[in-house]
Structure 1
Amino acid sequence: MEKINHAFEKMKMLVGMEMEDEQQQPAIEDGNSFSFMDDFNRHCTLTTKQRFYGFAICLVAGLTCTLLSILVFFHPIKFGITFTFGNLLSLGSTTFLIGPKRQVSMMLDPVRIYATAIYLASMIIALFSAFYVHNKLLTFLAIILEFGALIWDGNKVVWFLSAQLFSFSSQAHPN
C-alpha cells in the first residue's frame, strides 16, 4: 500500500499537484492578486479524484472525436469540425490535471509560444472556414497546419516528460 501511495505522490508531482487542495486554499487567500486566473483558480478547486475523472472524461471524449473524424475524412468540413473539437477536448483534459493557470503559463512558455500560436490560430481558422466560409480547401489546409503544430509541440512534450521521468527515477535511486 505504501508503494501505491508513493507512486500516486510521484504522479501528483509530475502533473504539478504537489500540495493537497486543503493546503492550497490558505496560500491562495493570502495573496492579494486580483488577476482573472487567480480568481478563477480560487473558485474552481477540485479534489485530486475529481481532477482525474475530468481528465479521463475529456481525454476519452477528445480521442473519440479525433478518431471519429477519420470516418468523415473525405468531407473536409465535417472532418475539420470533429478533428478540431477533439483537439480542444484533449487540450482541456490536461487543464484538469495541472490547472488552468499552469496550463496557460506552459502554453505561453517562450519555447512553446510559436507552436501554441500556430496551433490555436489554425484551430480558429479551421472552425471559421468550416462554419462560416464553408470552404473545403481552406478547412483542409487549416487542419494540416493544426496537425503540424500538434506534432511540433508534441515532440517537445515527449522530450519534457521523458526528462521529468528520468529526473524522478534518478532521485528515487541515488547512486
Structure 2
Amino acid sequence: MWKLTQFISGGDEEKQQDNLLDEPEGLCQLSPTQRICGFAACLLAGLVCMFLSMIVFVKPIKFALLFTFGNILAVGSTAFVIGPAQQMRMMLDPVRIFATSIYVGFVVVALICALLIHSKILTIIAIICEICAFIWYSLSYIPFARRMVSEVTVRLFDTEI
C-alpha cells in the first residue's frame, strides 16, 4: 500500500517540488484517498449516464447526449488516479494517437449530429462508430490486445482491421 501511495502522490518531497514547478497538476495535490474517491465517483457517474442512455434509446438524440457524456466521464475518471497531464501524455502516445483521435472525432461527430443536425439516423450511426472507436481505444491500453483482435478478425472474416 505504501508503494501505491508513493506512486499516486508522486514520490519524495524533492520530486514533488519539481512537479510543482513543471506541471500544473502539482498545484492541486489530492491525497490517495481523494484520488480513488474521485475516480470511483466519476466512473460511477459515467456508468450511470451510459445505463440511463439505454432507457431513452428510442430517442436517439437524448441517447447520444447521455451516452457520450457518460463515456467522457468514464474515460476522464482515470485522470484522478494518474493526473490530467499524464492522462493526456498517455492518450497522445504514438502507440494510441490514432485510436485517440478517431475516438475523440466520433465523440464530436455524435454531439454535432445530436445537437446541431438533429438527425436520428446520423446520430445512431455516429454512436455506433463511437462505441467501436472506444473499444479500439480501450484495447490500446492492453498489451497485444489490438493485434489479437486483428488476428481473430482475419481468421474469422478473412479481412484485416
Equivalent runs, 1:13-92 vs 2, <5 Å = 17=8, 19-20=10-11, 22=13, 24-29=15-20, 31=21, 33=22, 38=23, 40-92=24-76
How far off its partner does 1:157 sit? 2.1
How has the CA–CA distance of structure 1 residues 44 and 160 changed in structure 2, closer, same or farther, with 3 Å as cutoff?
A: farther
Q: Distance in 1 between matches of 2:124 and 2:138?
A: 20
How far off its partner does 1:160 sit? 7.3
Aligned-residue sequence identity (percent) comes to 45
Q: Distance in 2 between matches of 1:88 and 1:22?
A: 33
How has the CA–CA distance of structure 1 residues 128 and 25 changed in structure 2, closer, same or farther, with 3 Å as cutoff?
A: same
Q: For structure 2, list consecutive stretches of 5 or more residues without a partner in the other structure.
A: 146-161
Q: Secondary structure at the match of 2:49?
A: helix
Q: For structure 1, list consecutive stretches of 5 or more residues without a partner in the other structure.
A: 162-175
What is the RMSD of the two structures over their aligned residues, measured on CA atoms? Answer: 2.3
Match of 1:105 among 61, 86, 89: 89
Question: Relative contact order (alpha carbons < 8 A, sep ≥ 6): 1 or 2 greater?
Answer: 1
How has the CA–CA distance of structure 1 residues 160 and 93 changed in structure 2, closer, same or farther, with 3 Å as cutoff?
A: farther
Scaled by the length of structure 1, the TM-score of the pair is 0.74
How far off its partner does 1:97 sit? 0.5
Q: In the comparison of the two structures, how many residue pairs are matched? A: 145
Q: Distance in 1 between matches of 2:16 and 2:10?
A: 10
Scaled by the length of structure 2, the TM-score of the pair is 0.79
How far off its partner does 1:44 sit? 2.1
